[in-house]
Amino acid sequence: MTFRMIPLIAAAAMVGLAAQARDDGRFANSPLKGWFESLHSKGGGPCCADADGTALDDVDWETRGGHYRVRILGDWIEVPDDTVITEPNRVGRTIVWPYYVGGRTLIRCFMPGSMT
């Protein structure tokens, strides 16, 4: 490996770590762990059972025409109404639970934040 590759590999590793949060046991004692695990979309699907939530910055979500949109990997995606979690957001940050099928990004659950 050449020395020119080291900064590229290090940068790629940092981007990958920051992009998604995974419960690898670090949050086992969090007072919000049970609450996160109890979240379900209006369609009844569990949010945390099969997908990891990703916190979004305020510039990466919006409302348009009475519906939410999120920006994931540079693409704006319409949030289906039945995936919106309407109970109070205990963390304040906007969170989306995406999943991927056949090259498409779909939304399992979406919890709007406070836009502060």
The pTM score is 0.70
Give the helix, strand, coil percentages of the chain, each rounded to 5: 25, 30, 45
pLDDT single digits (tens) 25-79 = 556 677 888 888 888 888 777 887 555 788 999 999 999 999 999 999 999 999 9
**Domain architecture of the chain: domains with CATH:** 5-111 (2.40.50.180)
For residue range 77-92, what is the model confidence (pLDDT) as tens digits? 999 999 999 888 888 9
Structure tokens at 10: 């290090």
